[in-house]
Chain A
Amino acid sequence: MSDGAKGLTRQQMCDRLAMEFQDGWIVNLGIGIPTLCSNFDFGDRQIIFHAENGVIGYGPLTGAGREDLHLVNAGGQHVTLHPGAAIVNHADSFGMIRSGRIDVTVLGAYEVAANGDFANWKMAGQKGGGIGGAMDLAACAKHVFVAMEQVTRRGQPRLVERCAIPVTARGVVDLVITNYGLYEITPEGMALREIAPGISVDEVKATTGCNLSIPSEVPPVKVRG
């Protein structure tokens, strides 16, 4: 399935980010595309999933009819618990976040800027918004990864020089995966690291709204760990 878009599927995008998770990492996944990271086969690596609502160490989604009605992840999905899981209240859960216990958060975004700013809580002209735990996570997780489509529904770039809509946090994004490729935010700006199969460098350039450092040979996005 290509999700109706070119390049990587959403699962392939999340698989690529999940390959970066190190053994023993505490990982928090945002609502939407990022939740797919938990489908990745981590092999021998122990990955502990942290949910904002205080569920530490949750496992796969439950099958239909087998849900525990007292147990959801931060996306409201019914999940299972891994052995060794723990439940804490919301203040303790965000205490873990603010005190730097979370190794990586994977978030969706509307825009990511070349300076590592990103925006994901409020669309242009919208009254109100949806922050959830994103501002706490983005400000405090050791790494911030973003998973999003290369362009908006109207074909506008989401990778931009400066965010035009209200930001979630400034200068925090490390790595971005889109259906077109993998990008790293460096002190010098945004760099293309890997490119999706079937996508040309010219297509990447045409759909990116900021200066992009591009190596002479761009390796393909890794599709298996």
Chain B
Amino acid sequence: MPKSKIFPTFDAAVADIPDGSTIGFGGFAVVGMPINLYKALAEQGAKGLTCVSNGTRGGATLPGDGPDMGGLITNGQVKKVICSFTAPTRASQKLMFSEYYEKGLIDAELVPQGTLAERMRAAGAGIPAFYTPAAVGTELAEGRETRVFNGREYLLEEALPLDYAFIRAYQADAFGNLRFRRSQRNFNPLMAMAARVTIVEVEEDILPVGAIDPDDVHLAGIFVHRLIKIPPPPEGWWPQRPAEVAKHEAERNAR
């Protein structure tokens, strides 16, 4: 009987993560973001991390005190980020990351979003590199290998393997078969495929093996290693409704 994948706490699930790890954080605009795992990793304190994510902040609907990559950055845990956004999407937005980046305290690799997704898919699919039309003719392609296929120029991109993937799912069975809900899927299955160890925060109670119909599994449990059921607040962190977020922001601005 193999060891159970179910962990009792977030702290236990991230306890052994060493300094210098490369970690993928799933989610897109808060949806599917592993916010509880962000918090646990900030408390665990591993340093010299390379963090892979779509952006360095969860998006406009994450309240100011919501755990995200900003917490790891202010803790001095992050060496480098690999993202499709390193600047805010709105001029009014201020990123914790920008402060550290502009001072040269953090390195950054900016990658087109589709390339970022495909580099992780490739890592999870045993493909070392691929050619893509994205970013051809731009600053990002300067000095890099390109090749012409059928009269069109493509840029060589290498797979992006991860040591760990931190993701969030809607349902899981004890083997780690996952289902995502609505736009929660985004980068999450790709990061799991790219990672040696995938840690999942799960919204619903973890189901017995066999409770999810095989046809309905979005990510096979062989890509999943650790599962933690998100407890209700205050032990677990859940995103708030946008109306609550707006209120929270207004209160914060008034201070």
**Which residues of A come within 8 Å of B, CB atoms?**
31, 51-55, 64-65, 67-72, 75-76, 78, 87-91, 93-94, 97-98, 122, 126-136, 139-140, 166-170
Q: Are B113 and A132 in contact (CB under 8 A)?
A: yes
Any A CB within 8 A of the CB of B242: yes
Q: Are B183 and A87 in contact (CB under 8 A)?
A: yes
B window 66-88: CB within 8 A of A: 84-88
Tell which of B139, B185, B239 has the most Cβ of chain A within 10 Å: B185
- A98 contact from B134, B138, B180, B183, Cβ within 8 A: B134
Number of A-B contacts (CB under 8 A): 152
Shortest beta-carbon distance from B88 to chain A in Å: 7
Q: Are B243 and A90 in contact (CB under 8 A)?
A: no
List the 7 shortest-distance A-B pairs measured between CB atoms, nearest first: A94-B114, A76-B29, A128-B86, A136-B114, A70-B182, A90-B117, A135-B112
Task: Give the interface SS of chain A, mostly helix, strand, loop or mixed.
Answer: loop
Contact with A along B136-165 (1 / 0, CB 8 A): 111110000000000000000000000000
Cα distance A55–B29 when bound, in Å? 13
Any A CB within 8 A of the CB of B223: no
Shortest beta-carbon distance from B157 to chain A in Å: 12
Contacts of B190 in A (CB 8 A): 89-91
Cα distance A219–B240 when bound, in Å? 49
Known: A54-B183, A127-B101. 17 other contacts (CB 8 A): A53-B28, A64-B242, A67-B241, A71-B183, A76-B28, A89-B188, A91-B118, A97-B114, A128-B110, A129-B85, A129-B87, A130-B84, A131-B84, A135-B134, A135-B138, A136-B134, A170-B136
Q: Are B113 and A136 in contact (CB under 8 A)?
A: yes
Interface size on B, residues (CB 8 A): 52
Q: List 29 A-B contacts (CB under 8 A).
A: A53-B28, A53-B29, A54-B185, A55-B183, A64-B243, A65-B243, A68-B182, A72-B28, A72-B30, A76-B29, A90-B28, A91-B121, A91-B190, A97-B114, A98-B132, A122-B87, A128-B86, A128-B87, A128-B110, A130-B89, A131-B85, A133-B113, A136-B113, A136-B115, A140-B133, A166-B138, A167-B139, A169-B136, A169-B137
